[in-house]
A and B are shown apart, each in its own frame.
Chain A
Amino acid sequence: MSALTDDTLPVTPRAMRDEMIVFAVMAVLLAVVPFTGIYPFFVMQALCFALLACAFNLLIGYGGLLSFGHAMFLGTAGYVSAHALKVWGLTPELGIVVGTAAAALLGLVTGYISIKRQGIYFSMITLALSQLLYFLYLQAPFTHGEDGIQGIPQGHLFGIFDLSKPLVLYYVVLVGFLGGFLLIYRTINSPFGEVLKSIRENEPRAISLGYKTDQYKMLAYVLSGTLAGFAGSLKVFVAQNASLTDVHWSMSGEIVLMTLVGGLGTIFGPVVGAFVIIAMQQYLAGFGQWVTVIQGVIFVACVLLFRRGLVGELAHLLRRSL
C-alpha cells in the first residue's frame, strides 16, 4: 500500500528556512490585497476556506485520516457563533470562542465514536455523522431551518475594531488565518507531528514502538475540528449568515477538493487549493449545475493524473518541501 505522499522530505534547517520565506511572502501578498483593488470579500471568504482546508489537511495529510464530514465543524461553529452574537448578544471575541469551543466539543464526541475505525470506514462514519447533524440542524428551531440565521451583527472586536468596516474585518480575518496556519505548521513540525506521520506511514509499527496511536489520532482529530470550527466562526463575520449549506455533505466534498487540488500533505497546498476553488466558483457562478460537473472532473483528474496536487507537483519539481 503506497502512502499518500510518496516524497516526504526530512525536516532540515534549509527546508524550514524555505518554508518561512514562502510564509513571509504569502503574508505580505495577503496584507497588500486591500490596496490592489481585488474584491476583499472574495479574499476573506477564501481565507476562511483556506484555514478550513489546512485544518482538514492536518488530519489527512499528516495523520492519514480522510474525514468526509468536516463541514460539520464549519457549520456547527458557524451556527453557535451566529446564535451567540445575535440572540445572546455576545461580543465578537466571545462569539468566536463559543463557536470554536462548540467545534472542539463536537470533535471530542465524534472522535470518540469514529477514531477506532480505520481507513475507509473512518471516512464513511464521519460522513454519516455529519449527515446526522445536518438533519438535526434542519429540525432544530434555533437554526431557522432552510432560512438559516441571517443579519448577524458584526460588532466591535475587543471593543476597539469595528468589524462592519471591510478593511478592519479583512485584517482581523487575515490575522486569524495566519495565526491558525502557524499553529498547524508548528504542530506538524513538533514531536507530536512526527509521531502522527509515523502513524500515517505504518500504524502497526508505531503501535509496536509503544505509541498509543488512538490517542494521537484523537488529538489530531480534535485539533483539526477545533481549527475548522475557528474558520467557521470567522466566516460568520464575513458572510453574516449561517446556513444549512455549511453543514451539507457537498461542503465536506469541497473541503476535500480544495486540499486535493493544492496537494495532500503539503504545507501551502490547501491555501492554494482554496483560492483556486473559490475563484472558480466565483467566475463560473453563471453556469449553474455545470460547476458541480467541473468539480467532479477536477476530482477525477487530480486522482488519476496529479495526485500530488499543484503545490505538491511544484515541490516535487524543485525538490523542496512546501
Chain B
Amino acid sequence: MQALYAQLLVGLINGSFYALLSLGLAVIFGMLNIINFAHGALYMMGAFVAYFLLNLGGINYWWALIIAPVVVGIFGMILERTMLQWLTGLDHLYGLLLTFGIALIVQGVFQNYFGSSGLPYSIPDQLKGGVNLGFMFLPVYRGWVVIFSLVVCLATWFLIEKTQLGAYLRAATENPTLVRAFGINVPRMITLTYGLGVGLAALAGVLSAPINQVRPLMGADLIIVVFAVVVIGGMGSIMGSIITGFALGVIEGLTKYFYPEASNTVVFVLMVVVLLVKPTGLTGRAA
C-alpha cells in the first residue's frame, strides 16, 4: 500500500504540471488562436532561471517562484510582440509551426551550453523532510507542490471567470473587434495573456526543478503529453483543463503501480479511447 500511495502522490505532482501547462495553453489559445508549442521550452526556462538565480545570484527558491515566471513572462511577451502578433488572420497551423521553431531554438541553445544531463536543484530548507500521515510518509516538498499548484490553478480560474479583467478577456476571446470598440486595448491584453500563460509554464518549471532536476529537454516530451491532455479535455473551459490535468496525472500514477510498462503511454491510450468514444473530446466543443 505504501508504494501505491507513493505513486498516487507522484501522479498528483505530474497532474499539477499537466494542469498548470494545459491551463496556460488554453488561456493562450483562447486569446491568440495559437497552440503554443514553445510551452515546454518556456517551462524549462523557468527551471533554468531558478537555477541561475540560486547558483549565480544566491537568490533562493521563494524569490525564484516570483522572479522566474516574471522573467520568462517578459521573454514571452517579447516573443509575442516581435513574432506571434504578425500571424493574426493566418491559418492556425502557422502558429504551431512558428512556436515549434521557437522551441527548437530555445532548447537547442540550452542543450549547447548545458548538454543533456540534469543539473541538481536542492529543496529549500523550509520544505525538507517529511510527515508521517499514518498510512504513508509524505515528503513535505511534494505535498507543497500539489497544494501550491492547486491554489495557483484556482486563482487563475478566479481571475478569468470572476473578475472584471477576466470578463474583458473572455469578451475579447469572443469578439475582439467589439471589445476594441469599447475602448479596451485588445492588443495589449493579448500580449499580457501570452505573458500570463507563459508565466504559468515557468512557475511549473520552478516547482519541478527540485523534483526532476533541471534539464534542457525537460519540457520537450512533457509538452506532447500535455497536448494529449488538451485533446482529451478540450480547451473550452478553464476548470475543465484543471480537472483533466490532475485526473490524468492520478491515472498515470495508478498505472505506474499496477502496470508500470504502460506508464509512458497511458495518457496517449486514454486519448485514443476518448476520441473513439467521443470525437469532440470530453468538454464538447468541436474545433
B: interface residue count bin: 35 or more
Asked whether, in the complex, the Cβ of B91 is within 8 Å of the Cβ of A2, the reply is yes
Residues of A within 8 A of B286 (CB): 118
Query: Knowing that A123-B93, A124-B231 are A-B contacts, what are 13 other residue pairs whose CB atoms are under 8 Å apart, sorted by A's residue number?
Result: A2-B91, A117-B287, A124-B227, A125-B231, A125-B271, A128-B224, A128-B271, A249-B220, A253-B100, A253-B104, A293-B109, A296-B100, A296-B102
Are A4 and B224 also in contact (CB < 8 A) when A132-B265, A296-B108 are? Answer: no
- Shortest CB-to-CB span from A287 to chain B, Å, is 9
The reply to whether the CB of A1 lies closer than 8 angstroms to some CB of chain B is yes
Q: Which residue of B lies closest to A114 (CB)?
A: B275
Q: Is the interface of B mostly helix, strand, loop or mixed?
A: helix
| Alpha-carbon gap, A302 to B96, bound state (A) | 13
Are A120 and B101 also in contact (CB < 8 A) when A127-B224, A136-B265, A289-B108 are? Answer: no
Asked whether, in the complex, the Cβ of B275 is within 8 Å of the Cβ of A260, the reply is no
17 A-B Cβ contacts within 8 A? Answer: A1-B90, A4-B91, A4-B93, A66-B93, A119-B92, A123-B35, A123-B96, A249-B224, A289-B109, A292-B105, A292-B107, A292-B108, A293-B108, A293-B109, A295-B108, A296-B108, A300-B102
| Alpha-carbon gap, A298 to B91, bound state (A) | 19
The reply to whether the CB of A213 lies closer than 8 angstroms to some CB of chain B is no
Q: Which residues of chain B have a CB within 8 Å of any CB of chain A?
A: 29, 35, 83, 86-87, 89-94, 96-98, 100-109, 111-112, 220-221, 224-225, 227-228, 230-231, 261, 264-265, 268-269, 271-272, 275-276, 279-281, 286-287
Question: Which one of A123, A249, A290, A303 has the greatest number of beta carbons of chain B within 10 Å?
Answer: A303
- Shortest CB-to-CB span from A237 to chain B, Å, is 30
| Alpha-carbon gap, A116 to B102, bound state (A) | 29
- Shortest CB-to-CB span from A71 to chain B, Å, is 12
A: interface residue count bin: 35 or more
Question: 1/0 contact trace for A48-70 toward B, CB 8 Å?
Answer: 00000000000010001010100
Q: Which residue of B lies closest to A109 (CB)?
A: B272
- Shortest CB-to-CB span from A164 to chain B, Å, is 36
| Alpha-carbon gap, A316 to B268, bound state (A) | 41
The reply to whether the CB of A256 lies closer than 8 angstroms to some CB of chain B is yes
| Alpha-carbon gap, A297 to B100, bound state (A) | 10
Asked whether, in the complex, the Cβ of A120 is within 8 Å of the Cβ of B268, the reply is no
Residues of A within 8 A of B287 (CB): 117-121
**CB < 8 Å: which of B29, B102, B275 contacts A125?**
B275
- Shortest CB-to-CB span from B157 to chain A, Å, is 23
The reply to whether the CB of A299 lies closer than 8 angstroms to some CB of chain B is yes
**CB < 8 Å: which of A118, A299, A304 contacts B104?**
A299
The reply to whether the CB of A3 lies closer than 8 angstroms to some CB of chain B is yes
| Alpha-carbon gap, A307 to B94, bound state (A) | 9
Are A290 and B112 also in contact (CB < 8 A) when A128-B268, A300-B102 are? Answer: yes
Are A296 and B268 also in contact (CB < 8 A) when A121-B287, A303-B98 are? Answer: no
The reply to whether the CB of A288 lies closer than 8 angstroms to some CB of chain B is yes
Asked whether, in the complex, the Cβ of B108 is within 8 Å of the Cβ of A303, the reply is no
Are A303 and B97 also in contact (CB < 8 A) when A127-B224, A129-B272, A132-B268 are? Answer: yes
**Which A115-173 residues have a C-beta within 8 angstroms of B?**
116-121, 123-125, 127-129, 131-132, 135-136, 138-139
**CB < 8 Å: which of A116, A120, A127 contacts B93?**
A120
The reply to whether the CB of A113 lies closer than 8 angstroms to some CB of chain B is yes
Asked whether, in the complex, the Cβ of A116 is within 8 Å of the Cβ of B275, the reply is yes
- Shortest CB-to-CB span from A120 to chain B, Å, is 5
| Alpha-carbon gap, A253 to B35, bound state (A) | 15
Asked whether, in the complex, the Cβ of A113 is within 8 Å of the Cβ of B276, the reply is yes
Asked whether, in the complex, the Cβ of B91 is within 8 Å of the Cβ of A129, the reply is no
Asked whether, in the complex, the Cβ of B98 is within 8 Å of the Cβ of A292, the reply is no
